[in-house]
Amino acid sequence: AMGNWLVNHWFSAAVLVAWLGINIFLFTYYFLFFDRDPRYFYTRAILGSALAWARASAKCLNFNSMLILLPICRNLLSFLRGTCSCCRRTLRKQLDHNLTFHKLVAYALALLTAVHTIAHLFNLERYNDSQQATDGSLPAVLSKMHLQGSNWLNPIHSNQTTVEYVAFTTIPGLTGVIITLVLILMVTSSMEFIRRNYFEVFWYTHHLFIIYFIGLAIHGIAGLVRGQTEESMEEVPPNRCARYLTQKEDNCWHDCCKDPEFGSIPAESWKWVLGPVLLYIFERILRIWRARQKVVVTKVVMHPARVLELQMQKRGFRMEVGQYIFVNCPAISLLEWHPFTLTSAPEEDFFSIHIRAAGDWTERLIDIFQQQKPRIEVDGPFGTASEDVFQYEVAMLVGAGIGVTPFASILKSIWFKFQHADQTLKTKKIYFYWLCRDTGAFAWFNDLLASLEQKMAESGRADFLTYRLFLTGWNTSIANNVALHFDTAVDTVTGLRHKTIFGRPMWNTEFAAVAEAHPRSVVGVFLCGPEALAKSLQKSCHQHSSLDPRKVQFYFNKENF
């Protein structure tokens, strides 16, 4: 199973190992550097090992801040996906893990921020203690150096200073507090529940990233943490001269040392993040330019259960199955862009989306379209795993709840390809599993399945598509209805030929049946649905793939939103 996973995810695994490796290397290297380098001998005399903890975590924070923007450059990823269309599908598919990587880097930033902040709280406490010490110890002597001129090592020059005062009145303190608050807001507002139900909250708090990067760039400018300068190191190396600071001899004429000179560590965060920030600015300009191109809404259909279908046209718009677009309605909000999966097939002369009422923005959009046709802006399309569906001889498509939407596009496109005997279609058989609580909000999808079923039967291809509908939330009235019409050929819930199954699928049974029916095929498993379902499908893919590469192999794909 592990071998199979590596075959499917070698690129993801390589990226993960490289990312972890670089983080571990940076942390270890700089920890040892600041813990042992003689230039920081005097700094360590005051701060101890908290210096190394703060500096090592700072390096890793810079590295991860450099990476965080790259996975969300949608146009860049689309470009990469296009340029490696000649590569193996497993490599192209890895680009769909962009949001997973983005979240991973974000969690690393949160953890490193905690380490960095705690280390600096210790540092401030030690700086303060050393400034107030009067015992003639090395930290105390070093902390009094500012009294003799501009040369200082301890940034705290007053006995009245508190940790809170430094945190809110110095550039590093204030920017550190702001960055940390921004990070807390961004991480908490991007939880699945908030993203799904209060997309606006997620959208607006995520744009605090602008403040994060500005704060990061100026965070180290004041250079409060200092080390001994190169010239001073040559003239008065600490291993020879440190003792003279605490025990000054009056009659020393040949062996005495001058006081060491100190200099700031230059701010360097901006160097790490400049490239990705410029790339991201270019990405945003590209999005604005693409969004300005005119979109014509050719048809508006209001489906049952408040589902709005928009059919649109835009010059030069070319889509693939299972792609998605970002939609903006200036009449509601100039800033908000919401992602929607395309439900049309590339062969159709329009592109369409189905919008269900879920949150303020969608509610308002549906209300507006019931009265008039407002201006719509579209950015995209952007590619995801479903494009690869025609590359597999056998495809297992699993849609849960609203997750059936990309499969509307796929199923329609397959039917068009059949009609025109398209040579690019390698697919010989499709298994479609639809899981939902109730079919109310998906009456439109029901109609689509019914019409496809009819058309496939008419062209003698009825056996090409096998589908199962699993109703996971059913009540007694449905049960009674089913009992009454048990022997009818058409299903009572959906009106389709294939019976609806009540309850959840037994994936082991389903996979075993597919493996038995196609003993030598490569089977693509496509899911648009929740994470828990992804895990059980992935597990089934591993369990049912043959160890012999010539026999049945299951490859798992997941839509990312």
Whether residue 328 contacts residue 377, with contact meaning beta carbons closer than 8 Å, is answered with: yes
Predicted local distance difference test score (pLDDT) of residue 161: 82
Give the confidence band of 375 by pLDDT, cuts at 50, 70, 90.
Answer: very high
Predicted local distance difference test score (pLDDT) of residue 383: 73
Q: Which CATH fold topology does 386-558 show?
A: Rossmann fold (3.40.50)
Question: Alpha-carbon distance 351 to 412, whole Å?
Answer: 12
Considering the chain, what is the average pLDDT of its residues? 86
- Beta-strand pair 465-471/429-436: parallel
Average pLDDT over residues 156-174: 87
- Beta-strand pair 307-314/351-356: antiparallel
**In the chain, which segments carry CATH 3.40.50.80?**
386-558
The 3 state secondary structure assigned to 317-337 is CCCCCCCEEEEECCCCCCCCC
Average pLDDT over residues 153-161: 88
Which residue bears the tokens 């718009």? 317
Give the confidence band of 441 by pLDDT, cuts at 50, 70, 90.
Answer: low
Lowest-confidence pick of 99-113, 374-388, 468-482, 508-522: 468-482
Q: How many CB atoms lie within 10 A of CB 74?
A: 19
Give the confidence band of 496 by pLDDT, cuts at 50, 70, 90.
Answer: low
Looking at per-residue pLDDT, the higher value among 266 and 78 belongs to 266
Half-sphere exposure for 153 (CA within 13 Å, toward CB)? 29
User: Is 90 exceeded by the pLDDT of residue 446?
Assistant: no
What's the DSSP call for residue 342? Answer: B
Average pLDDT over residues 224-242: 91
Which region, left, alpha or beta, applies to residue 503 given φ > 0 means left and ψ of -120 to 50 means alpha?
left
Whether residue 41 contacts residue 227, with contact meaning beta carbons closer than 8 Å, is answered with: no
Predicted local distance difference test score (pLDDT) of residue 257: 82
**In the chain, which segments carry CATH 2.40.30.10?**
293-383
Segment 77-119, tens digit of pLDDT = 877 776 665 555 566 667 778 888 999 999 999 999 999 999 9
Closest CA to 396 of 507, 277, 547: 507
Predicted local distance difference test score (pLDDT) of residue 291: 84
Give the confidence band of 336 by pLDDT, cuts at 50, 70, 90.
Answer: confident
Average pLDDT over residues 495-509: 77
Question: Alpha-carbon distance 358 to 199, whole Å?
Answer: 9
Domain 293-383: which CATH class? mainly beta
Average pLDDT over residues 402-419: 83
Q: Cα(first)–Cα(last) distance of the chain, in Å?
A: 27
Question: Alpha-carbon distance 192 to 532, whole Å?
Answer: 13
Average pLDDT over residues 501-517: 90
Average pLDDT over residues 294-299: 95
For residue 213, give the 3-state DSSP assignment.
Answer: helix
Closest CA to 381 of 49, 31, 74: 74
Average pLDDT over residues 250-259: 67
Predicted local distance difference test score (pLDDT) of residue 474: 60
Average pLDDT over residues 375-391: 79
